[in-house]
Amino acid sequence: LHVRGELHTYKIHLGSGNILMSPNDQYLCIVPKTEAAPDTGYLPYEGDRTLAVILSKALMLADDTSITDPTITSQIRG
């Protein structure tokens, strides 16, 4: 899955959820929190944790200039 943000274009592997940033395919480490997500109702991918993680990463990286987590910003701005 290719996601274009303001700072980079990201490639998210659909099997693993791993992320590579353009232009040099630098690995981007984003680890999801392990706490339970709030009940949001039925989702078509319910029970598929990898797809849920991929979609959340894609949505976050599409708006990469709004990310405030210092662990992530140090990787994408560094």
Q: 20-43: per-residue pLDDT in tens?
A: 999 999 999 998 776 655 565 666
Write out pLDDT tens, residues 10-23.
Answer: 999 999 999 999 99
pLDDT category, 47, cuts 50, 70, 90? confident
Whole-prediction pTM value?
A: 0.82
Query: How many helices (DSSP H) and strands (DSSP E) are in the chain?
Result: 2, 4
